[in-house]
Amino acid sequence: MKALLVDDHPLILTALQSVISGLGSDIVVDGVDSAAAARTRLAEDPDYDLVLLDLALGDADGFDLLQELRQAYPALPVVVVSASERASDVIRAIDLGAMGFVPKRSSHAQLTEALQMVMSGGLYVPPMLLGAGIGGEPTESDTVPGVMQIEPPPLGPAARAEPHQQATSLESLGLTPRQAEVLALLLKGLPNKLIARELKLSVETVKDHVAAVLRTLGVHTRTQAVLAVSQMTQDGTRRPPG
């Protein structure tokens, strides 16, 4: 695996390089300290398997760079590694196409889990965001507590799901093969136009499939769909379709 780290803090950049390099002898980790350097590196060598991106860069807004990378390199997974723990930032990053969000206070075990999940085709979000629910609108004060814990703590009685509310397996949702294909591409952050191009369908047909997938998952937005599938994957160790 070949990974590119984008972080303008030298100590954090060095620490992340050390941690990720230690995950396996076949991992090559390069680091750059700015958005401009990231653009140059990817233009010179687009054969990276993963980008880890800090949101607080000195020369660019991290969300803008995330969106730029997803448009320029749609097949390249981007994982946000950020000091922010606001649920609103997590949701915005996923909405812009990030395949994972890891708070910088996370343990090595959580970072390892996140990278393994993303590289196997899944999506990673902080466990406690899933426990907090996915239906509400985020606010600027929303945070994701408990990120230092390797395993999320049990939910309190008021927050614990009743049996009829517990996560449903993807296999039991009853998606058609085409809907499963659309969901797999949606999870990769592809917009409807690129999904249509990939599956050789019209954009209107893709919109119909996306709407059907959202209804099946019981959510209203693409971001909520991504988080719902991530919850199924993390709670039940299931892989997304595709």
Most confident range, picked from 18-22, 95-99, 126-130, 236-240? 95-99
Pick the CATH number of 2-132 from 3.40.50.2300, 2.40.50.140, 3.40.50.720, 3.40.50.1100: 3.40.50.2300
The total number of residues written for the chain in this structure: 242
Q: Is the pLDDT of residue 33 over 50?
A: yes
Residue 107 to residues 21, 45, 126, Cα–Cα distance (Å): 16, 30, 11
Asked if residue 134 has pLDDT above 60, the reply is no
pTM, full prediction: 0.62
Can you list the alpha helix ranges (DSSP code H) found in the chain?
10-21, 35-44, 62-72, 87-95, 108-119, 127-132, 177-187, 192-199, 203-217, 222-236
What kind of fold does domain 163-236 have according to CATH?
A: Arc Repressor Mutant, subunit A (1.10.10)
- Give pLDDT tens digits for 53-67: 999 898 999 999 999
More confident residue, 19 or 213: 213
Distances (CA, A) of 70 to 54, 90, 122: 15, 16, 16
Percent of the chain past pLDDT 90, that is, above it, reads 20
Token pair in block for residue 129: 């965001």
What's the sign of the alpha-carbon dihedral 10, 19, 147, 138? positive
Q: Taking the domains of the chain in order of start, what are their residue ranges?
A: 2-132, 163-236
SS3 98: coil
Q: Across residues 107-114, what is the average pLDDT?
A: 84
